[in-house]
């Protein structure tokens, strides 16, 4: 962690009633800095908190919001919950994999898109749901996804 994030992590350790309560906010700091949680940072966090690396790894493996590998500029998460599944989420995921040339959890060759399938995004009434960089996209169709991909590519091209 850089010095600024390390100071913030130390502050977080005192802001919660128990040190272990600070683990998730500290992991968010690490992910904000690196874009994912590098292996060496797991040890840094464990040492800082006085816990084992296995404890930190257990938390990382439980929460799908944390990533152990770099992700694309746009992280697209397709909900696999029952409502979304019944409303065609599997077809949406398959479409994204084919359109972007990525496997499940993979990143496109241009580094722009990572596609994940997640268990539930808790917006069942608006199924099927996709999240792009944690922004909900309710009632998504393949046409919506095509437009989204084009907009993302266009936005990157304009800022290049």
Angle between helices 53-62 and 23-34 (to 10 degrees): 80
Does 114 map to a domain? Answer: yes
Per-residue confidence (pLDDT) for residue 64, from 0 to 100: 75
In a domain, 99, yes or no: yes
Helix (H, G, I), strand (E, B) or coil at 119: coil
Tokens coding 6: 């390390």
- Number of neighbouring beta carbons within 10 Å of residue 39: 9
Same domain, 52 and 78: no
Summarize pLDDT for 7-47 with one digit per residue, the tens: 999 999 999 888 889 999 999 999 989 989 999 999 999 99
Number of domains in the chain: 2
Domain presence at residue 69: no
CA 141 to each of CA 33, 108, 129, 136: distance values in angstroms, whole numbers, following the listed order: 33, 21, 9, 14
Residue 68 domain flag: no
Q: Are strands 74-79 and 130-132 parallel, antiparallel or unpaired?
A: antiparallel
Give the C-alpha separation, 48 to 28, whole Å.
15
Residue 87 forms part of a structural domain: yes
pTM of the model: 0.77
CATH code: domain of residue 132: 3.40.30.10
User: Which residues, including other chains, have CB under 8 Å from residue 124's CB and lie 6 or more apart?
Assistant: 81, 82, 83, 84
What is residue 95's three-state secondary structure? helix
The verdict on 49 and 78 lying in the same domain is no
Domain ranges, residue 9: 3-62
Task: Judge if 83 and 154 occupy the same domain.
Answer: yes
Q: Give the pair of three-digit tokens for residue 87.
A: 């409303």
Mark whether 78 and 145 lie in a shared domain: yes
Q: Characterize the bridge pairing of strands 135-137 and 130-132.
A: antiparallel
Mean pLDDT, all residues of the chain: 92
Chunked into runs of 10 residues, the chain (160 residues) has average pLDDT values of 92 89 94 92 95 95 87 94 96 96 92 92 95 94 96 80
């Amino acid at each position: 962690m850089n010095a600024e994030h390390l100071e913030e992590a130390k502050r977080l350790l005192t802001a919660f009633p128990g040190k272990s309560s600070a683990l998730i906010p500290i992991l968010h700091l690490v992910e904000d800095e690196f874009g994912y949680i590098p292996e060496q940072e797991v040890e840094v966090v464990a040492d800082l908190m006085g816990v084992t690396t296995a404890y930190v790894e257990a938390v990382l493996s439980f929460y799908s919001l944390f990533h152990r590998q770099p992700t694309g500029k746009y992280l697209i998460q397709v909900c696999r919950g029952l409502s979304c599944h019944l409303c065609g989420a599997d077809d949406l995921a398959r479409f994204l994999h084919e359109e972007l040339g990525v496997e499940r959890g993979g990143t496109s060759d241009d580094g722009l898109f990572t596609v994940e399938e997640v268990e539930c995004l808790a917006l069942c009434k608006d199924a099927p749901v996709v999240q792009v960089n944690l922004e909900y996209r309710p009632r998504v169709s393949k046409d919506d996804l095509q437009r989204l991909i084009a907009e993302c590519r266009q936005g990157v091209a304009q800022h290049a």
